[in-house]
Amino acid sequence: MVQGMRPVVYNIPVHLVPTYRGRAILVRSQDPTALVHALPDSDLETLVSVQLLTLTADIDVLADWGYGVPLDLIMRSPDTEFPLLYRHAKLLDKHPIRVSIPARPELFKAVKVASALRFPVKLEVGQPDSVAIEALQAVLDFYLHHPSVSQPVEFFHTALLSFYHQTPVPLWDIQEDDPAYVRYVTDDGQETIARHPVGIRVTGDLGCFVAHLQQELLAERGECGTCEFFAYCGGYFKWPRKDYGCSGVKTLFRALRDASAALRHDLNTFTVAMKGTGR
Ligand code: SF4
């Protein structure tokens, strides 16, 4: 199934691998052994990535499996689970690894550990409350200014680049949550939106879900209609609750935009200085 040139990726539970054979899949499980059994090397061609839904599983089996299969570690409680990241570092030799961390008040420590271990991070931002916004601001400051951060922290990384290049990439895309391109298939086989909180069943044409939501948001002449960041956000923070207030998340966009402007300024100054030296 193809929307435009982009194939739809299906986020499926491991028991549905036979049903989705031949399609682009992202396979999730609590059990690494189940993943390895369901996905022999011959089946890896259409595999986009695997999601490990727990950080306490025995992962040795993954060290001997496939090669270069992107692995997404799903963290639920950053305050208690951050020490569990260390035991996954040995898999980096074999697979690209990313850690998905929910935007909870305690996320900063988890991001620092992930970053020290050289894991890229995806922040599951949802609709953050004021305490989570503060934590996100701390993470953004760390990402922008700490010299040891060598791996992307999303959505900050791609948003910064898109501000820098002035080519907006909506958050729906950065967060891999637009159901036109990524479908979450529930354990009982129903297709819906991948975005957390998983379990909200979206019906109707999933290919047009984001476009319809954006039309509604703009027609209602609410906060999105006058938002300077609409092209970079796409109304992402107005779902599932449309009455979510965006003053906090706008501080994040503003900081990213300012950082991109500073970056451009630094680069221009550097270029002029190099010309002055004749190099
Ligand atoms: S930041 Fe809020 S108001 Fe602005 S586009 Fe996103 S959801 Fe709409």
- pLDDT tens-digit map of 103-112: 998 899 999 9
Ligand 1 mean position, distance from CA 155 (Å)? 15
**Tell me, what's the pLDDT at 3?**
45
**Tell me, what's the pLDDT at 154?**
97
**Which residues contact ligand 1 via a Cβ below 6 A?**
223-224, 227, 229-230, 233, 235-238, 246, 249-250
**Low-confidence spans in the chain with pLDDT less than 70:** 1-5, 42, 196-199, 270-273, 276-279
Kindly report the protein residue whose alpha carbon is nearest to atom 6 of ligand 1.
235
Ligand 1 mean position, distance from CA 246 (Å)? 6
Q: Could you tell me if 38 and 14 are in contact, meaning their C-beta atoms sit under 8 angstroms apart?
A: yes
Determine the atom of ligand 1 nearest the C-alpha atom of 249.
1
Q: Could you tell me if 51 and 74 are in contact, meaning their C-beta atoms sit under 8 angstroms apart?
A: yes
Ligand 1 mean position, distance from CA 166 (Å)? 18
Residue 153 burial (C-beta neighbours within 10 Å; 0-12, 13-18, 19+): buried
Distance of alpha carbon 23 from alpha carbon 78, whole angstroms: 33
- pLDDT tens-digit map of 18-77: 999 989 999 999 999 999 999 877 677 889 999 999 999 999 999 888 778 999 999 999
The single-letter code of the amino acid at 166 is Q
Ligand 1 mean position, distance from CA 112 (Å)? 28
C-alpha 35: how far from chain center: 22
Model pTM? 0.91
Determine the atom of ligand 1 nearest the C-alpha atom of 230.
5
